[in-house]
A and B are shown apart, each in its own frame.
Chain A
Amino acid sequence: MLIFEHSREGRRAAAQAPLEKVGAKGLPERFRRRQRAPLPEVSEMQVVRHYTRLSQKNFSIDTQFYPLGSCTMKYNPRACNSLAMLPGFIDRHPLAPETHSQGFLACMFELQEMLKDVTGMKGVSLTPMAGAQGEFAGVAMIRAYHESRGDSSRTEILVPDAAHGTNPATAVMCGYTVKEIPTDRQGDVDMDALKAAVGPQTAGIMLTNPSTLGVFERRIKEIAKVIHDAGGLLYYDGANLNAILGKVRPGDMGFDVIHMNLHKTFSTPHGGGGPGAGAVGVSERLMPFRPIPVVAKEGERYRWLKKADLSQSIGQLSAFAGNAGVLLRAYIYMRMLGRDGMHRVADFSTLNANYLMARLREKGFDLAFPERRATHEFIVTLKRQAKEQGVTAMDFAKRLLDFGFHAPTTYFPLLVPECLLIEPTETEAKEALDGFVDAMAAIQAEAESDPEKVRGAPYTQPNRRFDEVRAARELDLRYVPGVAG
Chain B
Amino acid sequence: MPFIPHTQDDIREMLATIGVPSIETLFDEIPAELRTGELRGIPDAMSEMEITRLMGDRAAQDAGALNFIGAGAYEHHIPAAVWQIATRGEFYSAYTPYQAEASQGTLQLIYEYQTMMTGLTGMDVSNASLYDGASALAEAVLMAVRVHRKSKSRRILVPTSVHPAYRATTHAIVDGQEIELVEVPFDPASGRVSLDTLKPYEGEDYTALVIQQPNFFGTLEEVDELTRWARANNVLVIAVVNPLTLALLTPPGEWGDDGVDIVCGDGQPLGAPLSSGGPYYGLMCCRQEHARQMPGRIVGRTVDADGKRGFVLTLQAREQHIRRSKATSNICTNQGLVVTASTIHMALLGPEGLERVAAASHANTQALVERVAALGVQPLFSGEHFHEVVFKLDRPAAGVLAKMAEQGVLGGYDLGQDYPDMADCLLVCATETKTGADLDAYVAALRTALA
Contacts and interface: CB of A to CB of B under 8 A. Distances in A.
Contacts of B96: 270, 272-274
Nearest to A52: B85
B303 A168 contact: no
B238 to A, nearest CB: 16
Contacts of A91: 63, 67, 75, 273-274
Interface stretch (A60-68, A191-199, A228-236): A60-68
Nearest to A359: B17
Interface string B403-423: 001000010010000000000
Contacts of A55: 85, 88, 90-91, 105
Given A32-B248, A271-B337, A272-B94, A169 B320 contact: yes
Contact of A37 (B44, B103, B120, B359): B120
A407 to B, nearest CB: 5
A83 B325 CA distance: 40
Contacts of A364: none
Contacts of B72: 319-320
A251 to B, nearest CB: 10
A415 interface: no
Interface size class of A (residues with CB under 8 A): 35 or more
Nearest to B336: A273
A477 B100 contact: no
Nearest to B172: A315
Interface in A107-132: 107, 113-114, 116-118, 120, 129-132
Nearest to B118: A478
Interface stretch (B18-26, B203-211, B226-234): B18-26
Given A62-B93, A320-B277, A321-B276, 10 more contacts: A54-B104, A79-B52, A270-B336, A272-B94, A274-B279, A316-B172, A337-B3, A351-B15, A397-B99, A472-B315
What are the 9 closest A-B residue pairs judged by CB atoms, nearest first?
A320-B277, A62-B89, A338-B45, A271-B337, A117-B41, A88-B59, A94-B277, A273-B336, A315-B172
B62 A100 contact: yes
B266 to A, nearest CB: 7
A244 to B, nearest CB: 8
B331 A130 contact: yes
A87 B179 CA distance: 41
Contacts of A273: 95-97, 106, 128, 297, 333-337
Contacts of A472: 300, 314-317
B346 A58 contact: no
A59 B274 contact: no
A165 interface: yes
Contacts of B129: 274
Contact of A100 (B220, B327, B410): B410
A97 interface: yes
Contacts of B353: 12-13, 16-17
B71 interface: yes
B104 A81 contact: no
Interface in B348-393: 348-360, 362-363, 366, 384, 386
B250 interface: yes
B304 A464 contact: yes
A97 B101 contact: no
A253 interface: yes
B437 interface: no
A442 interface: no
Contacts of A409: 98
Contact of B348 (A16, A100, A320): A16
Q: Which of A52, A75, A173, A470 has the most CB of B within 10 A?
A: A173
B279 A325 contact: yes
Nearest to B130: A129
Contacts of B35: 247-248
A48 B43 CA distance: 41
Contact of A96 (B41, B319, B410): B410
Interface string B73-96: 101010101010101111111111
B362 to A, nearest CB: 5
Given A51-B109, A247-B27, A478-B118, A75 B401 contact: no
A211 B413 CA distance: 46
Nearest to B15: A351
Contacts of A41: 350-352
A90 B126 contact: no
Contacts, number: 680
B13 interface: yes
Interface string B107-124: 011011011101110001
A467 B304 contact: yes
Interface string A136-174: 100010010000000000000000000011101111111
Q: Which of A56, A62, A323 has the most CB of B within 10 A?
A: A323
A130 B118 contact: no
A77 interface: yes
B176 A463 contact: no
A468 B305 CA distance: 11
Nearest to A6: B347
B173 A332 contact: no
Given A166-B330, A478-B125, A355 B304 contact: no
Given A41-B350, A337-B45, A477 B125 contact: yes
A323 to B, nearest CB: 4
B189 interface: no
Interface stretch (B146-154, B163-171, B439-447): B163-171
Contacts of B176: 140, 143, 173-175
A121 B347 CA distance: 45
B352 A31 contact: no
Contacts of B168: 315-316
A91 B268 CA distance: 13
A479 B132 CA distance: 25
A358 interface: yes
B351 A18 contact: no
B333 A131 contact: yes
Contacts of B45: 335-341
A34 B5 CA distance: 59
A57 interface: yes
Interface string B303-316: 11110111010111
Nearest to B402: A97
B62 A96 contact: yes
Interface in A360-419: 362, 372-374, 397-398, 401, 406-407, 409, 412
Given A39-B350, A79-B48, A348-B4, A58 B55 contact: no
Interface in A13-50: 13, 15-18, 21-28, 30-34, 36-42, 44, 47-48, 50
